[in-house]
Structure 1
Amino acid sequence: MNKKLIVSSIATMLACGAGTALAAAPDWGKVPSKKITVFYPGVSPIEWIVKGTEHGGAKGLKKGESCASCHDEEAADMGKKMATGQKLEPNVIKGKAGSIPVTVQAANDGTNLYMRFTWKEPAASGGGADKENQVKLAFMLEDNKVERANLSGCWETCHQDARTMPGVTDDKKTKYVTGGSVASGKFYDLLQWKSKANKGTDGYVADKRVMEGGKGLVEAKGEKKGDTWTVTFTRKLAGGGEGDIAMASGKLYNFGFAIHDDQAVGRFHHVSLGYTLGIDAKADITAGK
């Protein structure tokens, strides 16, 4: 065989292989979107939600009703009440936005999951404590192993004894899952992007929050044009690291996200309710090819 033809054939195969590993992001203009309102949650840990004396939704959870099925359309109203101190917030930050409408898109190419979040930045309150990062965005995935995760979303990681909660002095107590462990599968896969470094971290929430160990994250990047932020994530469907969920076509996963706007830290973020993310499957958010 001609040597030039051999070299050309090898080059073509290598290029195809590289194209598979480093597939380009989708044409976002052609990807369906869902508007999700993240809201300021105040002091509303899972214990407050399920105890039933102050929150009527505890009965709904016992019946198998999700938080989103009741509150999806009133997230902005709830956030306003808590941000202004009308409900569940003893430490009001004057000027704190009650909610942020976010456009969420998802797609996959058989190898990678792509997530895109777009929103307009609210007016600053100046009350944030993270002086390094103007904005952080994180999302969690759960593989139907954590009790109630399909109903309450990420609230199963939010507890009244975590740092920044009223009366808590332990500044190292972070999010956790009751009875959680990576070995048992009872954990949330956690990906986070920070604005200062403009890159992401790949961790998980089990018996504690760990911001490393995952190998699924390929890239996380964000940019601000005018008053609009856009943050995109590329994650290997297969995962492959500690705390990584292995995702597959045709399956549904529990999904939720949070934005730490205005240099926010700890619980002073904006959060979504719990939704489903489907890989080539009908869900609240479908990541189609």
Structure 2
Amino acid sequence: MTMKKTMIAGAVGALLALGAGGAFAAAPDWGKVEAKDITLFYPGVSPLEWIQKGTEHGGARALKKGETCADCHSDEAADMGKKIASGLKLEPNPIPGKAPAIPVKVQAAHDGENLYLRFSWKQPAASGAAKMDEANPVKIAFMLESGGKVELADQSGCWATCHQDSRTMPGADDAKKKYVKGGSVAEGKFYDLYQWRSGENKGFNGHVADTRVMEGGTALVSAEGKQDGDTWSVVFTRKLAGGEGDVTLESGKSYNFGFAIHNDNSAGRYHHVSLGYKLGVDADGDVKAAKQ
């Protein structure tokens, strides 16, 4: 190849990189980013309707007073997971050997254009149960909500998308996906959804409004994961700005945030979930994304 052709090829490559919306953005120095320890727990069959039912859930009264799920339960998530995974409560079909909880370290940073979210955790022992998702031993997803337009999003995190008539719930329609009551992207009443699948090694960017869709968002730049020994680490890079179905992130603001891991080739409701937290972009939050 002549020097002239080499220069042209390099220029074209640079333009393509710029046109990819920062797809080659460098990740932060994670050694300098504060990590937040969050315990995911196995929730069994505890949909939104259950947490609002005072005769079965003592925290229903606290919710009505404006308290959050994390206010009451953040320090006991692992214990709740043990009780539910064992079948003592809220699980009609317990899976022997199911991990009750997964401790996760969460880090966040931004560079003025992109948000970076890193999740790391140790792989729990396999249960030996039949594989629900043959293709993906692990999936991790997180959701963002802006402005509290979704009822209870400020208090319950992602629970506003979890309903007793959703698929894999006892007696539910197998075709019914997660949804938000009265959800509407046009009205800003939705969750912005991101997921990474280990077997496919692929990221997805969708949303949850009147139903869940896994694609269509334009904010996701990349999702990359790897397993080093018994430790997983997954990094999501998304633009601060977004299109339809994406939450636009602004410096100085906080956003409702929750995440979940499908471990052990699990699917549907058989995941581990976080309570509801706040992601602060140059602002106060349980997880803080400062500029690097």
> 2:168 aligns to what?
164
Q: Which runs of 5+ in 2 are unaligned?
A: 1-6
The amino acid that maps onto 1:143 is: S
Q: 1:69: Cα distance to partner?
A: 0.5
Q: Distance in 2 between matches of 1:248 and 1:39?
A: 30
The amino acid that maps onto 1:248 is: E
Q: Distance in 2 between matches of 1:82 and 1:239?
A: 37
Q: Distance in 1 between matches of 2:224 and 2:174?
A: 29
Given the alignment of the two structures, is residue 29 of structure 1 paired with residue 31 of structure 2, yes or no? yes
The amino acid that maps onto 1:146 is: V
Q: 1:51: Cα distance to partner?
A: 1.6
Q: 1:62: Cα distance to partner?
A: 0.7
SS at match of 1:232: strand
Q: Distance in 2 between matches of 1:219 and 1:287?
A: 17
> 1:258 aligns to what?
260
Q: Distance in 2 between matches of 1:125 and 1:174?
A: 26
Q: Deviations over 1:148-172 (max 9, x none)?
A: 101000000000000000112x211
Q: 1:23: Cα distance to partner?
A: 2.6
> 1:132 aligns to what?
135
SS at match of 1:51: coil
> 1:116 aligns to what?
118
> 2:220 aligns to what?
217
SS at match of 1:185: coil
TM-score normalised by structure 2 residue count? 0.91
Match of 1:272 among 264, 271, 274: 274
Q: Deviations over 1:78-102 (max 9, x none)?
A: 0000000010000010000000000
> 1:3 aligns to what?
none
Q: Distance in 2 between matches of 1:34 and 1:146?
A: 25
Aligned residues: 275
Given the alignment of the two structures, is residue 64 of structure 1 paired with residue 66 of structure 2, yes or no? yes
Given the alignment of the two structures, is residue 174 of structure 1 paired with residue 191 of structure 2, yes or no? no
SS at match of 1:201: strand
% same residue: 69
The answer to whether the 8 A contact 2:135-2:200 is kept is: no
Q: 1:26: Cα distance to partner?
A: 0.1
Q: Deviations over 1:171-204 (max 9, x none)?
A: 1101000000101111000000000121200000
Match of 1:199 among 198, 202, 207: 202
Given the alignment of the two structures, is residue 151 of structure 1 paired with residue 155 of structure 2, yes or no? yes
The answer to whether the 8 A contact 2:281-2:288 is kept is: yes
The answer to whether the 8 A contact 2:109-2:288 is kept is: yes
The amino acid that maps onto 1:111 is: E
> 1:41 aligns to what?
43
Q: Distance in 1 between matches of 2:59 and 2:122?
A: 31
> 1:286 aligns to what?
288
The answer to whether the 8 A contact 2:252-2:283 is kept is: yes
Q: Distance in 2 between matches of 1:61 and 1:282?
A: 22
Q: Which runs of 5+ in 1 are unaligned?
A: 1-6
Given the alignment of the two structures, is residue 208 of structure 1 paired with residue 211 of structure 2, yes or no? yes
Q: Distance in 1 between matches of 2:73 and 2:283?
A: 24
Q: Distance in 1 between matches of 2:191 and 2:61?
A: 25
Q: Distance in 2 between matches of 1:62 and 1:122?
A: 36
Q: Deviations over 1:269-289 (max 9, x none)?
A: 000000000111111111001
SS at match of 1:61: helix
Q: Distance in 1 between matches of 2:251 and 2:73?
A: 29
> 1:237 aligns to what?
240
The amino acid that maps onto 1:57 is: G
TM-score normalised by structure 1 residue count? 0.92
Runs of 4 or more off by more than 4 Å in structure 1? 17-20
SS at match of 1:176: coil
The CA RMSD over aligned residues, in Å, is 1.6
SS at match of 2:52: helix
Q: 1:18: Cα distance to partner?
A: 4.6
Q: 1:126: Cα distance to partner?
A: 2.5
